């Protein structure tokens, strides 16, 4: 077969063009891959290969952005970075200096994520306690009320008091172990509102006995954490929640209890619970007078009995030490706007720490920083708030916009 020079040139030029097209496609695919890969935390491990000689500079796509190195935390929440979950308020002077209080916050409705840091700041700033507040978070590191994604409970190892405001939590085993170790040694507990049903984890074979409905082989644990430690589990609402507030009536026989010093006019906006606490050295401190309205001057609901809403008792596990426990079935974010109620909670922390002698009727319980509580509800909470947003004495509790659940 005979080809002219022109025909040979055409054939070779065509082959050369096809080859170059394949090369260009290859370069394009490599460029796309590097562009995508450069946005991942692992990219720095291969930074020396970023410009492989094809005229593509992967760093051009990152101009004006922070380049993540493997030694820096990812913008998304790192699984084991406990510091993302907590804030420590360090008191510098006062009668609480040297004492450590750990606050655990995650409930779905009553905005415990606001109540607890406000209480912690009072105790740290006014009295010198070291107060560690730990929240459950979402995958982006934002406070997520009701979540069971929590880290950092190892803080309980050196805690003198645990203040808990959780509801139906199902923490991972490592975190539960810290709680269990704490109560095994008889650590003092202050439990607010939904902590009578703090855990709902019957499918967790290691910790199912903490479940609020537990009825298994460990008889002492029947009723779960709420009944064994606090003296009551979840029974039900008493009155109409969100429509009937409660006035706290001091129990006459225990009016001189240290926790009730200076407590006057205490009331709570969240509705009552059915509660019939039991336990060793039980003392009812206050009962709830259900009101036909959401203000303290509303008329009483005469169809309702005055059930216990605040009490103290001792608890003890079968193989553990004796511990003190204070419980209130109230404690929502707006409840602590009541000076009397807020004083009772501060006093309860002192009592739990066996510091009764320091409870004065006129102790300073003023808020530290601006406190703007969100009205308790199931449908919304302040979204996109990280624990670090609540650090310091002056940060607002609670910043952000209300997230409305669909």
Higher per-residue pLDDT: 306 or 7 = 306
3-state DSSP percent of the chain in helix, strand and coil, to 5: 35, 20, 45
Residue 199: both structure tokens together: 């855990």
For residues 268-290, average pLDDT: 96
Higher per-residue pLDDT: 400 or 217 = 217
Q: Return the percentage of the chain with pLDDT > 90, whole number.
A: 77
Query: For residue 253, is pLDDT > 60?
Result: yes
Query: For residue 53, is pLDDT > 60?
Result: no
Provide the residue count of the chain: 406
Residue in 306, 351, 305 with CA at minimum distance from that of residue 327: 351
Q: How confident is the model at residue 28 (pLDDT cuts 50, 70, 90)?
A: low
Q: Are 338 and 284 in contact (CB under 8 A)?
A: no
Q: How confident is the model at residue 378 (pLDDT cuts 50, 70, 90)?
A: confident
- CATH number of this structure's domain 82-390, picked from the four choices 3.20.20.120, 3.40.50.880, 3.30.70.141, 3.30.470.20: 3.40.50.880
pLDDT of residue 177: 98
For residues 295-322, average pLDDT: 95
Among 3-12, 28-37, 287-296, the minimum mean pLDDT is found in 3-12
Query: For residue 391, is pLDDT > 90?
Result: yes
pLDDT of residue 403: 82
pLDDT of residue 166: 98
Average pLDDT, rounded, for the chain: 85
Q: Are 126 and 88 in contact (CB under 8 A)?
A: no
Instruction: Measure the CA–CA gap between 61 and 83, rounded to whole angstroms.
Output: 31
Rounded to the nearest 10 degrees, how much is the dihedral formed by the CA atoms of 293, 294, 298, 303?
50
pLDDT of residue 209: 98
Query: For residue 5, is pLDDT > 80?
Result: no
For residues 73-95, average pLDDT: 79
For residues 349-373, average pLDDT: 98
Instruction: Measure the CA–CA gap between 213 and 221, rounded to whole angstroms.
Output: 10
Q: How confident is the model at residue 320 (pLDDT cuts 50, 70, 90)?
A: confident
pLDDT of residue 22: 55
Higher per-residue pLDDT: 378 or 106 = 106
């Amino acid at each position: 077969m005979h080809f002219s020079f022109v025909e040979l040139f055409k054939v070779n030029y065509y082959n050369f063009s096809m080859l170059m097209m394949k090369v260009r496609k290859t370069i394009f695919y490599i460029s796309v891959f590097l562009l995508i890969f450069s946005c991942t935390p692992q990219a720095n491990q291969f930074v020396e290969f970023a410009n492989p000689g094809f005229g593509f500079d992967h760093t051009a796509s990152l101009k004006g952005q922070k380049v993540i190195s493997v030694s820096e935390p990812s913008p998304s929440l790192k699984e084991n970075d406990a510091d993302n979950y907590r804030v420590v308020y360090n008191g510098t002077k006062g009668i609480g200096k040297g004492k450590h209080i750990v606050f655990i916050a995650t409930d779905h409705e009553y905005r415990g994520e606001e109540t607890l840091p406000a209480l912690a700041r009072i105790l740290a700033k006014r009295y010198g306690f070291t107060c560690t507040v730990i929240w459950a978070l979402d995958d982006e590191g934002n406070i997520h009320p009701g979540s069971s994604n929590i880290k950092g409970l190892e803080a309980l190892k050196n805690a003198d008091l645990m203040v808990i405001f959780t509801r139906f939590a199902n923490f991972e085993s490592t975190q539960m172990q810290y709680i269990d170790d704490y109560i095994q040694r008889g650590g003092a507990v202050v439990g607010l509102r939904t902590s009578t049903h703090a855990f709902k984890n019957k499918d967790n074979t290691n910790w199912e006995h903490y479940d609020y409905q537990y009825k298994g082989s460990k008889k002492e644990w029947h009723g779960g954490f709420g009944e064994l430690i606090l003296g009551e589990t979840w029974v039900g609402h008493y009155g109409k929640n969100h429509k009937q507030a409660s006035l706290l009536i001091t129990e006459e026989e225990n009016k001189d209890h240290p926790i009730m010093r200076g407590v006057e006019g205490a009331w709570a906006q969240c509705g009552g619970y059915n509660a019939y606490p039991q336990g060793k050295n039980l003392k009812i401190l206050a009962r709830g007078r259900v009101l036909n309205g959401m203000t303290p001057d509303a008329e009483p609901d005469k169809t309702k009995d005055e059930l216990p809403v605040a009490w103290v008792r001792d608890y003890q596990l079968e193989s553990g030490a004796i511990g003190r426990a204070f419980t209130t079935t109230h404690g929502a974010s707006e409840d602590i706007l009541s000076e009397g109620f807020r004083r009772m909670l501060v006093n309860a922390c002192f009592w739990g720490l066996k510091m009764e002698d320091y409870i004065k009727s006129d102790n300073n319980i003023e808020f530290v920083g601006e406190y703007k509580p969100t009205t308790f509800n199931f449908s919304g909470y302040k979204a996109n708030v990280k624990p670090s947003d609540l650090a310091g004495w002056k940060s607002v509790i609670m910043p952000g916009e209300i997230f409305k659940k669909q």
